[in-house]
Amino acid sequence: MLLKELSNANGISGFEDEVRDLIKPNIPSYRTDVLGNLISFEEGKGLKVILAAHMDEVGLIATNIDEDGYILFKKAGGIDDRVLMAKRVVIGKNKINGVIGSKPVHLLKKEDLKKVIEYNKLYIDIGAENKKDAGKLVKIGDPIYFATKFKENGYNFIGKALDDRVGCSIILDMLKKDFSFSLYGAFTVQEEVGLRGARVVAHDTNPDICIVLEGTFASDTPDIKEELQIPKFGEGPAVTIADRTVICDPKLVKFFKDTAEKNNIPYQIKRPFTGGTDAGAIHLTKRGIPSGVIALPSRYIHAPASIGNKEDYKNMKNLVYRILEKIESEKGDFYGH
């Protein structure tokens, strides 16, 4: 299961090398650009379709080492401070092991126990004796990753970076299929810090249609009101109508929904105007590119570990294939091409 290898690979924004090197042997032809985007291409006739998914994950980056050898850091991407305390991490290419720590609970005042510890009051302990000792292992600017390993758990799977190694995995499956139109697979960089790689990819490929494959939040947890619990875990892939970065092309949204219903594939609508994806950059490129988003609902994204549903993953993969199959049969007529 390539998703396992992709989830276990390390690649925060700007440091996607390990993920990129894992993908390369699984695609027949590709090119990379200056930013590090990886683009697979199968040239065909007529319509040019791009599937896009980002390789980067949220994580941390080392910013300093104090005199006692503790590593100070900043966040790379959107991470809730509440999920950081006591998590295991690995640092840099040599994967130095560490634990995120703070003042021991026994020494805290009662009022401090009621507060979330902000990330700038945390540090990473690698067991170093002092600054010099730590400096032999860790350098300022080193990327820091959560040390989470992918596991299957009955109908579910647990791992880090499901946002968006799920999308990368499905693109790899789609690139094995044969279509007469031009199909591009874009594995983008730096999505978590501003959709940066997608801007370059869109200018480079200039597709007729873009389909972004993502990992999104599943919000059916006890602390969220029932009316806000969309999308839900286990109820199919989520189709985006609008998020904070894009209002998806209405024709594509309808096309996605009609295809799902015709093939009896369960799907749901993502809660509008939450989150953001590479579609936010791609749809604004040049004269505009019709863009849509399909995502796997996962619990606890942007955290050290997330949970995905195997059936949702299977249905998302099937829906993407059926969409491409229908594009093939209709030759883009649904979109006026």
Give the catalytic positions in this structure.
191
The answer to whether residues 55 and 114 touch, using CB atoms and an 8 Å cutoff, is: no
Picking from 75, 93, 37, the residue whose alpha carbon sits closest to that of residue 193 is 75
DSSP-assigned letters across all residues of 190-235 = -GGGTSHHHHHHHHHH--SEEEEEEEEE---STTS-GGG--S-TTS
Amino acid at 180: S
Q: State the burial class of residue 35 (Cβ atoms within 10 Å of its Cβ: 0-12, 13-18, 19+).
A: middle
Distance CA 168, CA 54 (A): 7
Which tokens go with 300? 């606890």
The answer to whether residues 305 and 330 touch, using CB atoms and an 8 Å cutoff, is: no
Token pair 């390990």 in the structure block, residue:
18
Distance CA 99, CA 118 (A): 16
Q: At 262, phi and psi to the nearest 5?
A: -65, -30
Picking from 264, 157, 174, 265, the residue whose alpha carbon sits closest to that of residue 211 is 174
Helices (H), 80-161: 131-135
The strand pairing partners of 151, in sequence order, are: 158
The count of other CB atoms within 10 Å of the CB of residue 58 is 23
Which tokens go with 287? 């004269």
